Structure formats: structure tokens, C-alpha cells
Structure 1
């Protein structure tokens, strides 16, 4: 199994070989594709899931620094700080596998904290709006999380 993320289509596909098992709309970076640290872009190329964070946590669990804050994001909490970089429910932390492209130096996806993660329901899917990560609906990220282990290959194409 592997994951394909299409920046132009704003879609994530869970693949088995060449067969698509499931697909979901996503939201990638508002700044488009790019690999440089500080760019706010979604990095391209081959990655692997380095860590799975949040197993068993309730939908809407808020994470900061990959740790649950004790908050659950609901409409009232979201409205109190709509500009916050909301990382919810589950985190699949990505690590680039291509030195000089998305690994090591100023292009290192892992050091850029590039995740596949949940987000508030108010955030649109299918539209590039993130700060570099790949956002999914909370129910969708749980479904994906439950199906992929650490080490799963991820290809992000731009």
C-alpha cells in the first residue's frame, strides 16, 4: 500500500499497487508546491510516514507540537481563534526520502513538520489553503490513519 497526493487535483488516494482503494479531497499549501524551509509550500516527491500520532484520541482533538492540548475543537473554540493553525484528530508525520529534493538541509520535510492531519469542519477541502501540510476532514484522516503503518510510502506530485 502507498499514498498518492495530487496537488493540482487536491486529492489523496490510498493505493494498492496501481489500484485505488479509497480517495479523499484534501487541502494543500496556499503557496503551492515547493520544498524550501520557510516557504509555506507543500513539498513534492517521495516521502514515508515517519510517525503516527493521536491513535485513539477523540475526533477534534487539538494538537500543538504533536501533543494533545486537552482541547476538542468545536464551533465555539474555532470561532475564538479562527486564524490558528489547527492540527486536529490525527497526525501522519512525513519524512522525505530524496536527498536534496525533500530530505536534508533546507528542503527537509520532516524538519519542516510536514503532516497529513485533520482540520476544522469550517475549512474547505479541494482548495489549497494550508501552511504546507496536507489537511483532511477528521473522519477521513482517522480512516486513513487506521489503514497505514509507519513506513508507508507517500508520493506528492505537483
Structure 2
């Protein structure tokens, strides 16, 4: 994992409000509606929860992919999501358009392990990513990741760099 020079931008994800806010210094410059984990807040491996705390964008994936490109294992499948593809594959957890792969910065909280076992955001494959437009925002429904509208994740992806700081708060 290579971390590039961070931008002046910082992101805050508020789980209670289901929002992602982009800050330039102390000024909020953009707000997005998101969907965090259906299972709530947590950092343990296989919990299906969204982790709290200080994170960094470890990897940006999909820069040249079209909007609605489908990713499996962080690799584009060549498919472009539409409602028909969604109906043909109702069991898939769609990861679309862009991926911002997060890495925790707090040992024992969202990095490494603790007394309950693994709690590493990066090893848990926690991303900010696009999701089908039919999926609601503002409601916790993900499997741990932070879901965004496709046009929103494409816009956000262009603003941030690997190394951009992210704080995930409960409220």
C-alpha cells in the first residue's frame, strides 16, 4: 500500500446522519447522502459493521472505468450495471463506478487486531463505493462499506487523493 501526499481535503462520515461531508480546512464544501452498515457500528472481522475512527484513503480504484462499471474483488468485470443485470443477479452486493479503499490508523480500534480478534479496516475490505440507483441512501443497508450514488462517488473520487484523511463518527 503506497500512500501519496494527502490533499488539504478531509472527509467526515456521520453514521447517525448517513452523510459524508468534504471539508477544505474547516469549511464544508460538499455534502453527500450515504448508506453505511445495516449491522451498525463495529470494527471486528466478519461483523458486517462500519468501523469508527481515523482512516486514510489507501487506494483509489477505477479511475478510467465508466460510470456503473461493475467491480468484483476490486477488478472491473466488463459489465455495466443496469436494472436488467440487477434482476438477473439479485444476490450480488454491487460495487460500482469507483472504489476508495480505506485503511484504519488506530491500532486495536480499526487497524491490526484487539482482544476480540481482527479489526483492520483495510483487511476487512471496507470501501466507499458506488451502488445501484435503486438502493436507498440515508438508510444503513450495506455490509460494512459506505455506499454512495454513482455520480457522487465519481465526483468525490476526482477530488481526493490516496492519503486523504477520513473520520468516521457515530453522530
Q: TM-score, normalised on structure 2?
A: 0.91
Match of 2:110 in 1: 102
2:156 is matched with: 144
| C-alpha RMSD of matched pairs (Å) | 0.6
Unaligned runs of 5+ in 1: none
Deviation of 1:18 (Å):
1.6
Deviations 1:92-148 (A, max 9, x none): 000000000000121000000000000001100000000000000000000000000
User: Aligned partners of 2:72 and 2:167: how far apart in 1?
Assistant: 26
Number of the residue aligned with 2:31: 23
1:14-93 matched pairs, under 5 angstroms: 14-93=22-101
- The offset of 1:82, in angstroms, is 2.2
Unaligned runs of 5+ in 2: 1-8
Q: State how far apart, in whole Å, the 1-side matches of 2:51 and 2:24 are.
A: 23
Match of 2:127 in 1: 115
Runs of 4+ in structure 1 off by over 3 angstroms are none
By how many angstroms is 1:74 displaced?
0.4
The aligned counterpart of 1:4 is 12
Q: Deviations over 1:39-77 (max 9, x none)?
A: 000000000000000002111000000000010000100
SS at match of 2:21: strand
